[in-house]
Amino acid sequence: SQQGEEDPQALSIQEGENATMNCSYKTSINNLQWYRQNSGRGLVHLILIRSNEREKHSGRLRVTLDTSKKSSSLLITASRAADTASYFCATGLSGSARQLTFGSGTQLTVLP
Amino acid sequence: ETGVTQTPRHLVMGMTNKKSLKCEQHLGHNAMYWYKQSAKKPLELMFVYSLEERVENNSVPSRFSPECPNSSHLFLHLHTLQPEDSALYLCASSQYGTSSYEQYFGPGTRLTVT
C-alpha cells in the first residue's frame, strides 16, 4: 500500500477561507514534502519539513509534522482562487531520502 | 519555469510504434527521475539516475527503457506500449549529496497509446 495518503480527496472552499489537508504515512521518514500541481502540469515544490521538525511556515503555508502519529497537515490561510490545484504529500524515507513516495493528492477548489 | 524541460508535451502513438521522451534540466543537478502519473493514482516512481547509479522500480515493464547520457539529459524510450500505459510522464531532478531533498519537475509529456 502507498506510503502517503492525503485526506480529504477533494476540498471545496470559498475564497478567503483557510484550507487544511492531511497526510498520513506508514514508515519512518527522513523528510516530508508538499507539492502542488495545476491541472495536467508538473509538480511544484511548496515546503519541506524534516523528521526532527514539528512546524514550518512559508508565506500563507503552514506545515505540521507529528512523527508519533505519522501524520502531517498543510494549512493554506486566506485562500485565493489561484490556489485551486491538487496538493500532494511526499515522503523521503530514512536511508533513501531522495526517493520520494507520493500520495494520491487532495484536489482543492477555491471558489471566488 | 522550474528549469526542467520535457519534449514532446503531447504524444499519440500506436502500440507498434517506437518513440522517445526527452528531459533536460538546467539546474546543475546530479540526479534525475522518471515518474508515471495515471488518473486517480499516486505518482509512480519509474527510474532514478543518481551519480551514475540507476535505480529501477521492479514493477516497470521492460517496454520502458531509460537512458541518461549525462547529468543534464534523461530519455525514456518506449516500444510496443499498451493502452494502459497512457498517462502523464513526469521528469524531475534534484541535487544529490547535499541536505536539499526537494525535486524539481518538468511540465510532463501527455502520452496516449491507441
B43/A4 touch (CB, cutoff 8 Å), yes or no:
no
Q: Select from B94, B105, B110 the Cβ nearest to the Cβ of A43.
A: B105
B84 DSSP 8-state letter: G
Contacts of B45 in chain A (CB under 8 A): 99-101
- What pLDDT digit, counting tens, does each position of B47-101 carry? 999 876 788 888 999 999 999 999 999 999 999 999 999 999 999 999 877 667 8
What pLDDT digit, counting tens, does each position of A70-88 carry? Answer: 999 999 999 999 999 999 9
Rounded Cα–Cα distance for residues A56 and B11 (Å): 40
User: What's the CA angle centered on B28, arms B66 and B50, to 5 degrees?
Assistant: 40
Give the containing element (helix H, strand E) for B113.
Answer: strand B109-113
Please provide the size of chain A in residues: 112
Question: What pLDDT does residue A1 have?
Answer: 42
Task: Return the C-alpha cell found at A105.
Answer: 493528492
Percent composition of chain B: helix, strand, coil (DSSP 3-state, to 5): 5, 55, 40
Per residue in B14-52, pLDDT tens? 988 899 999 999 999 989 999 999 987 889 999 999 876
Angstroms from B76 CA to nearest CA on chain A: 17
